[in-house]
Amino acid sequence: MPLDVIALASAVRDMTTHVVSGAAERLRQRAMIRTMLERHSGHEEHWNDVVTISDRTQWLLARTTEAFDTARPAPLCPDEYIIVATDGSQLDVERHGMAVCALINIGQVYIRYGAQPEAQLSSVPQLAYQDHDLYITTGLRRIPVEGQLLNAKRDAHEGIALAALAETHQQGEIPIVALQDGTLMRWNLANSEDVVRTALLDPYLAALDRCKALGIPVASYISRPRSPEFLGMVRLMFCPDVRLSERRGAICDQCSDVRAGRAPSCRPCDDMADADIYLDRLAEGQRGPIALSLSRANREFYREHAIHFFYLRVGDEIARVEVPQWVAQNAALVDRVHAVVYDQALRGQGYPVALARAHEQAIVRASDRRVFLHMVEQMLVNNELPALNSKKRNSKEFSAL
């Protein structure tokens, strides 16, 4: 049955009323956060130390490597530069289909700007159908690579393809940036067992190793981010229980406000994100301070590639740019990423043009899926093999009562 839009309209009206009524409260929250940051500007190391001892919070944290009030304008973008970008999509394992297989499609983009401009756009399909592609094996156990693990595999392959693309197109002294969509952190693997991380994360980190060795900065771009890591540090500024002199950080399950029956003092940070902090603090093209994500996975598994980030004003949006540690610690590479990513966003009317083209190359549309399944069916039939769907799959092809 199609969507009942009449029944849905009432809920949408209620939601709109709720959003409108909350707008004034969000402005008040932003003002309180802004005041708190201004009060503590110049005391970054104090709050970095507080973050270090606050290992029992119920939210993500970050450490800043620059002043809270950092607002650096975009450096002059070079007239000639190279950008490479990748994006990916997948068709998950279809267990009701004719053959057990999965498809990963990686979109690749190379663009050179300047006196000799050129561009190459392509997609690279990767069909998984053999056991070593469909399973991660440990002893007698086979872990299916599907669902979230297939997402993680696609993410890793995007990074691996990006490194190869950058290595191929590096040209002498021409500045180059390697850019991905979304986060550099492979969150799908954060809580995975060792054998899964070895299979999927290690090749990705090896690709970052190659980029580091070549001096090619890697970055990722997140449009409309909702990450709360920098905000986690701001929450500590509101906390009445923090006592650095006593080496006491925030311990959320022992919150004195809650025990006294009061609303938590950090309540102004509820439902806010890092990007909300910078709406009033960054002018067009400016970036905020670089910070280090303190997620457990980042600290334990990413080594010299530990993910750092900064926020960037592009039009009416605050975007998040992530870089590995070796980029974050090199001012020249940070400036290159800042300048090139901002230039790309301007060329793409608010979103990096190379990433937009990579997405177009990567996406597997419904029509592509039908062509793929038909191709599988025809080749099975041509080889005199049964091309049979499950009964459940067949039932979706028609409606009956």
Q: Is the whole-model pTM more than 0.85?
A: yes
119-149 residue pLDDT tens = 999 999 999 999 999 999 998 899 999 999 9
Greater model confidence, 1 or 122:
122
Residue 257 lies inside a defined structural domain of this protein: no
What whole-number distance in Å separates Cα of residue 401 and Cα of residue 371?
29
Same domain, 80 and 191: yes
Same domain, 386 and 295: no
Asked whether the predicted pLDDT for residue 393 surpasses 70, the reply is no
What whole-number distance in Å separates Cα of residue 190 and Cα of residue 187?
5
Same domain, 348 and 385: no
Mean pLDDT of 27-51: 95
Residue 221 lies inside a defined structural domain of this protein: yes
Same domain, 110 and 215: yes
Q: What is the CATH number of the domain that holds 194?
A: 3.30.420
Q: Per DSSP, what are the bridge partners of residue 32?
A: none
How many other C-beta atoms are found inside a 10 Å radius of the C-beta of residue 193? 11
Residue 237 lies inside a defined structural domain of this protein: no
Residue 152 lies inside a defined structural domain of this protein: yes
Same domain, 117 and 143: yes
Kindly give the interhelix angle for 194-214 and 148-169, rounded to the nearest 10 degrees.
20
Same domain, 360 and 374: no
Q: Cα–Cα distances in Å, from 384 out to 128, 168, 378?
A: 22, 42, 10
Residue 10 lies inside a defined structural domain of this protein: no
Using DSSP's 3-state secondary structure scheme, residue 281 falls into coil
Residue 291 lies inside a defined structural domain of this protein: yes
Backbone angles phi, psi at 8, to 5 degrees: -75, -30
Q: Which of 2-11, 114-123, 155-164 has the lowest mean pLDDT?
A: 2-11
Amino acid 91 reads L
Same domain, 322 and 390: no
- Count: domains in the chain: 2
Asked whether the predicted pLDDT for residue 401 surpasses 90, the reply is no
* Pick from 222, 217, 211: nearest CA to 177: 217
Same domain, 353 and 379: no
Domain of 385 in residue numbering reads as 370-396
What whole-number distance in Å separates Cα of residue 105 and Cα of residue 122?
10
Residues 6+ apart with CB under 8 A from 156: 186, 200, 201, 203, 204
Band the pLDDT of 1: cuts 50, 70, 90: low
Same domain, 278 and 377: no
Same domain, 71 and 93: yes
Residue 209 lies inside a defined structural domain of this protein: yes
Same domain, 201 and 177: yes
Same domain, 387 and 360: no
Q: Check: CB of residue 85 under 8 Å from CB of residue 352.
A: yes
Residue 173 lies inside a defined structural domain of this protein: yes
